[in-house]
């Protein structure tokens, strides 16, 4: 029965012979590669081997397991499978598998016949539609009736009345001014209306016209706001047209052609014609910086000189860790070079010498925390050390190399290459431990110096030598290798030794391990008395290479000028050249001025001193503070600014251009003593200062504009200031020499007078002088007795009538 000819339901279709109806799950469809079958793809060929492998791999779970025997007996390898759309067989299965070659051919023929019938029906429908369209287009079109003539209804009169028409000729006003008055300045001011009314300056005075009567009528008016189109042409420029060429690709020429063009007359004429121009351009480039960002300079002028934000030191960020730094003292701070926002902090136990002796021999580790501004809660990684580290620094060329000095005098070296690589990989993925906290990598030391070749007391300072500079291991001679790496650094300890270390340690062939020892050593001694200096800080001249002379400080308030170069043919040389006892306590900070290589700043006890290389006495001394000074440094951008940190947690700023007898500014950083200061080495508009206190907290301070921007000609002004102070010191020394010579002359004259008196027999004169001195002493004793008696009478200890004893 055809579809739609009756109400009886259609009969169910019967599967072809040797065709199996089967239900395949989504997993099986994906495994055997049938996931692309559907309405658009009803039939597909599948390899018999693929089905058998699925049955072998999944066993009874496979959907083909129930017909495994039939599949095996199939008479062809490329089995045909058909998508059972709409379940035409009524068994609920979604696929049919043909196991006989003849049945597969019948299926394919049936599908081809259906597709041909569908294509023929579509072609017939298209032809019928085209014929119908042609029939519609050939029909005769109806003619339109002609439009009736336009009859005026009076609207054009209304439009004419609404139009705005000029009632008089337009006024033409010409305003002229003398050329010599162009650009002249004018001063405008306000005047009272009454004053202007009565003055002669009013050109158009108001008056009342009795004959004038104003009549106002309501008028409906329409205005055409858009101007009418006008076709005009304008010559926008008066320059004559010139021919121009643009070369998009370089012209390929041989060497002979290039040489002909370069050495030709045209090239000589061209260079001769532009010589004046490019010489002027080169001179202008030397005079002014063409790469200066003027807008960046103007942006800093937003704060007026008197605003509060321009003179306030604010805290930018702070760092502390409960495990490694809480309750400990920040002993050293160092910014990582070539990395912005990364700073290292060494934390030590705040214990006394006796407490360290009691805990000697126990296993106790210390740490250097590496902080990043990105994460103010957890340090990036930790450098672990077997003892407290009082000084450390990053390699200027390889920041992954870190050198430090321990409390027991040993030198320790870390290599953080691997941990930095791990940190870069973990930027997108954060490791978390069992407690939910981010895991902090711990870096073990790479090298540790031999204890017999190290310092005998705590290491107090460490400095890397400039790139390409090394010190000879026997003579101490400075050698320039010409390389771009930093391989040597210098350490100083309280035992007075200055040790030079090389990163390129070699393995001992006897022991089979690396024995790290210093390559060169110097011992600082006192000049007046025997004994080594208990050194604290030292400073080399590294601005222009490296000099063999350097400054150092001691625990006894001495500032030492020394030379580490060993003289020839001298067994026990004196490396100390001069010693100045300018302080009364340990000198805890020593730094060269970043603008003047020969100017040295020392900070100790209650004051700071400024030295000039070659002068034993300080050229400038500050007044004594009410609190002990712990550290200090120069400003990296202003030659006349010095920062000092005190025991009460207050940081003072000394601006020598403003005043030299007291601090210009002070800021309370912490309620605990400040232990270390370090400036951010990157020169940008923002200037940061790292401050560490005795509770393990690292404060990052942002300095205001007036402290980071130098005053005009500040460097020249400070140079004159130091020269003036140096002249004062030399004048005082000369006056002291003159007074000493005068005193010596007086003593010699008195001695000569005594000799002359003895030769003439005038010995009684000496006796008379002795009697005069005795009488003077008796008089002073009598006055003292009288004052003592009056004091006792006032206190009621004796009676007025009691005789004087």
Per-residue confidence (pLDDT) for residue 514, from 0 to 100:
80
* Residue 299, domain member (yes or no): no
Q: How far apart are CA 634 and CA 495, in angstroms?
A: 27
- Concatenated DSSP letters for 186-240? -------HHHHHHSTT-SS-----TT--------------SPPP---------PP
Element (H, E) at 96: strand 95-98
Residues in the chain: 805
Element (H, E) at 321: none
Among 595, 621, 647, which residue terminates a domain?
A: 621
Cβ contact 420:400 at 8 Å: yes
Give the 3-state secondary structure of residue 345.
strand
What predicted TM-score, i.e. pTM, was given to this entire model? 0.56
Structure tokens at 178: 């003398």
Mean pLDDT of 170-178: 84
Residue pointed to by tokens 């502390």: 320
Per-residue confidence (pLDDT) for residue 219, from 0 to 100:
65
Mean pLDDT of 203-216: 67
What are the pLDDT digits (tens) for 755-779?
887 766 555 444 455 566 677 778 8
Give the 3-state secondary structure of residue 279.
helix
Q: What is the 3-state secondary structure (H, E, C) of 1-30?
A: CCCCCCCCCCCCCCCCCCEEEECCCHHHHH
Cβ contact 414:443 at 8 Å: yes
Q: How far apart are CA 17 and CA 549, in angstroms?
A: 108
Would the pLDDT of 543 be above 80? no
Report residue 403's pLDDT band, with 50, 70 and 90 as the boundaries: very high
Element (H, E) at 422: helix 417-425
Per-residue confidence (pLDDT) for residue 491, from 0 to 100:
92
Instruction: Specify the range with the lowest mean pLDDT, choosing from 544-548, 562-566, 733-737, 738-742.
Output: 544-548
- The DSSP secondary-structure symbol of 65 reads G
Per-residue confidence (pLDDT) for residue 538, from 0 to 100:
84
- The DSSP secondary-structure symbol of 33 reads T
* Residue 58, domain member (yes or no): yes
* Residue 343, domain member (yes or no): no
* Residue 316, domain member (yes or no): no
Mean pLDDT of 244-269: 78
Identify the CA nearest to 109 among candidates 225, 101, 344, 375: 101
What are the pLDDT digits (tens) for 570-628?
777 788 888 888 888 888 888 888 888 888 899 988 899 998 888 888 889 888 888 88
Burial class (CB in 10 A: 0-12, 13-18, 19+), 26: exposed
* Residue 83, domain member (yes or no): yes
Q: How far apart are CA 714 and CA 639, in angstroms?
A: 7
Per-residue confidence (pLDDT) for residue 101, from 0 to 100:
80
Number of domains, the chain: 3
> For 439, what's the count of Cα atoms within 13 Å in the CB-facing half-sphere?
14
Phi, psi of 657, deg, nearest 5: -75, -30
- Concatenated DSSP letters for 636-657? SS-TTEEEEEETTSEEEEEETT
What are the pLDDT digits (tens) for 510-534?
766 788 888 888 888 887 766 678 8
What are the pLDDT digits (tens) for 107-129?
778 777 777 777 788 788 888 88
Strand order in the sheet with 549-554: 535-540, 549-554, 558-563, 576-581
Per-residue confidence (pLDDT) for residue 293, from 0 to 100:
65
What are the pLDDT digits (tens) for 422-458?
777 766 554 555 544 567 888 888 888 888 888 988 8
Residue pointed to by tokens 């207050």: 650
Please give the span between the terminal C-alpha atoms of the chain, in angstroms, as a whole number.
162
* Residue 707, domain member (yes or no): no
Element (H, E) at 412: strand 411-415
Strands (DSSP E) contained in 225-341 are 314-319, 329-335
Instruction: Using alpha carbons, list the distances in angstroms from residue 605 to 585, 637, 748.
Output: 5, 26, 41
Mean pLDDT of 196-210: 63
Identify the CA nearest to 310 among candidates 798, 735, 705: 705
Residue pointed to by tokens 């405008």: 188
Owning domain of residue 800: 764-805
* Residue 65, domain member (yes or no): yes
* Residue 251, domain member (yes or no): no
Share of the chain above pLDDT 70, in %: 81
Report residue 12's pLDDT band, with 50, 70 and 90 as the boundaries: very low
Q: How far apart are CA 310 and CA 751, in angstroms?
A: 68
Q: What is the 3-state secondary structure (H, E, C) of 704-722?
A: CHHHHCCCCCHHHHHHHHH
Vertex 276: Cα angle to 274 and 281 (nearest 5): 95
Mean pLDDT of 46-62: 82
Give the 3-state secondary structure of residue 631.
strand
Would the pLDDT of 240 be above 70? no
Task: Give me the CATH number covering residue 485.
Answer: 2.130.10.10
Angle, to 10 degrees, between the axis of helix 255-262 and the axis of helix 265-287?
Answer: 70
What are the pLDDT digits (tens) for 296-345?
555 444 444 444 455 788 888 889 888 888 888 899 999 998 888 899 99
Q: How far apart are CA 189 and CA 508, in angstroms?
A: 93
Burial class (CB in 10 A: 0-12, 13-18, 19+), 93: middle
Would the pLDDT of 99 be above 60? yes
Structure tokens at 341: 């926002």
The two beta strands, 442-443 and 411-415, are: unpaired
Per-residue confidence (pLDDT) for residue 773, from 0 to 100:
67
Instruction: Using alpha carbons, list the distances in angstroms from residue 392 to 345, 385, 402, 521.
Output: 9, 11, 7, 19
Per-chain mean pLDDT for the chain: 79
Structure tokens at 130: 């085209």
Per-residue confidence (pLDDT) for residue 145, from 0 to 100:
64
Instruction: Using alpha carbons, list the distances in angstroms from residue 562 to 44, 548, 571, 591, 797.
Output: 94, 8, 17, 15, 65
Sign of the C-alpha dihedral computed for residues 371, 373, 375 and 380 taken in this order: negative
Q: What is the 3-state secondary structure (H, E, C) of 461-491?
A: EEEECCCCEEECCCCCCEEECCCCCCCEEEE
Structure tokens at 109: 């023929």
Report residue 642's pLDDT band, with 50, 70 and 90 as the boundaries: very high
């Amino acid at each position: 029965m055809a579809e739609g000819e009756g109400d009886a339901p259609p009969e169910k279709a019967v599967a072809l012979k040797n065709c199996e109806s089967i239900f395949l799950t989504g997993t099986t469809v994906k495994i055997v590669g049938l996931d692309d079958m559907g309405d658009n793809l009803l039939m597909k060929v599948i390899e018999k081997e693929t089905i058998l492998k699925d049955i072998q791999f999944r066993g009874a779970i496979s959907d083909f397991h129930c017909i495994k025997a039939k599949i095996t007996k199939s008479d062809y390898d490329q089995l045909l499978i058909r998508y059972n759309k709409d379940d035409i067989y009524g068994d609920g299965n979604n696929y049919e598998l043909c196991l006989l070659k003849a049945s597969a051919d019948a299926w394919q023929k049936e599908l081809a016949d259906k597709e041909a019938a569908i294509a023929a029906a579509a072609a017939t429908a298209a032809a019928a539609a085209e014929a119908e369209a042609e029939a519609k287009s050939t029909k005769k079109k109806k003619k339109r009736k002609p439009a009736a003539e336009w009859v005026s209804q009076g609207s054009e009169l209304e439009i004419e009345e609404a139009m705005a028409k000029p009632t008089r000729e337009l006024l033409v006003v010409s305003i002229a001014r003398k050329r010599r008055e162009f650009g002249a300045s004018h001063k405008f001011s306000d005047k009272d209306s009454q004053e202007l009314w009565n003055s002669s300056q009013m050109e158009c005075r108001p008056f009342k016209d009795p004959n004038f009567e104003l009549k106002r009528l309501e008028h409906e008016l329409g205005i055409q706001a858009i101007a009418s189109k006008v076709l005009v042409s304008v010559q926008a420029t008066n320059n004559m047209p010139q021919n121009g060429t643009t070369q998009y690709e370089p012209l390929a020429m041989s060497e002979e052609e290039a040489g002909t063009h370069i050495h030709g007359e045209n090239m000589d004429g061209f260079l001769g014609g532009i010589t004046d121009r490019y010489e002027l351009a080169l001179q202008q480039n030397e005079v002014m910086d063409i790469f200066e960002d003027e807008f960046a300079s103007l942006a800093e002028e937003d704060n007026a000189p008197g605003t509060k934000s321009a003179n306030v030191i604010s805290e930018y960020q702070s760092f502390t860790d409960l495990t490694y730094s809480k309750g400990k003292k920040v002993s050293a701070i160092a910014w990582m070079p070539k990395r912005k926002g990364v700073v290292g902090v060494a934390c030590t136990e705040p214990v006394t010498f006796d407490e360290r002796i009691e805990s000697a021999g126990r296993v106790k580790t210390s740490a250097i925390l590496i902080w990043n501004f990105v994460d103010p809660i957890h340090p990036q990684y930790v450098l672990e050390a077997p003892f407290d580290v009082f000084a450390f620094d990053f390699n200027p060329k390889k920041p992954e190399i870190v050198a430090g000095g321990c409390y027991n005098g040993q030198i320790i070296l870390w290599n953080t290459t691997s941990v930095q690589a791990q940190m870069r990989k973990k930027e997108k993925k954060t490791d978390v431990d069992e407690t939910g906290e981010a895991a902090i990598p711990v870096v073990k030391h790479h090298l540790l110096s031999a204890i017999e070749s190290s310092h005998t007391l705590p290491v107090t300072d460490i400095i890397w030598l400039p790139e390409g500079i090394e010190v000879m291991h026997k003579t101490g001679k400075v050698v320039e290798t010409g390389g771009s790496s930093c391989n040597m650094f210098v350490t100083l300890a309280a035992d007075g030794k200055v040790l030079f270390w090389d990163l390129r340690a070699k393995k001992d062939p006897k022991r089979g391990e690396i024995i790290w020892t210093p390559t060169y050593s110097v011992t600082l001694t006192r000049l007046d008395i025997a004994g080594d200096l208990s050194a604290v800080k030292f400073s080399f001249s590294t601005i222009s290479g490296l000099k063999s002379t350097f400054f150092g400080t001691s625990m006894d308030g001495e500032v030492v000028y020394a030379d580490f170069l060993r003289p020839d043919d001298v067994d026990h040389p004196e490396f100390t050249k001069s010693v100045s006892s300018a302080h009364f306590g340990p000198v805890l900070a020593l730094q060269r001025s970043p603008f003047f290589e020969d100017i040295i700043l020392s900070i100790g006890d209650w004051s700071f001193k400024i030295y000039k290389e070659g002068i034993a006495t300080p050229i400038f001394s500050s007044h004594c503070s009410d609190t002990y000074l712990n550290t200090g440094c120069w400003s990296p951008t202003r030659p006349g600014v010095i920062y000092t940190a005190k025991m009460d947690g207050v940081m003072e700023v000394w601006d020598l251009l403003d005043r030299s007898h007291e601090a210009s500014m002070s800021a309370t950083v912490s309620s605990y003593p400040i232990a270390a200061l370090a400036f951010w080495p990157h020169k940008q508009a923002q200037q940061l200062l790292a401050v560490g206190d005795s509770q393990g907290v690292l404060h990052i301070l942002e300095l205001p504009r007036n402290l980071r921007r130098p005053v005009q000609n500040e460097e020249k002004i400070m140079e004159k200031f130091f020269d003036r102070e140096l002249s004062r010191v030399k004048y005082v020394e000369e006056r002291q020499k003159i007074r000493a010579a005068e005193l010596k002359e007086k003593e010699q004259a008195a001695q000569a007078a005594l000799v002359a008196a003895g030769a003439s027999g005038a010995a009684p004169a000496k006796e008379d002088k002795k009697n005069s001195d005795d009488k003077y002493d008796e008089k002073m004793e009598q006055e003292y007795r009288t004052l003592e008696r009056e004091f006792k009478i006032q206190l009621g200890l004796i009676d007025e009538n009691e005789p004087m004893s």
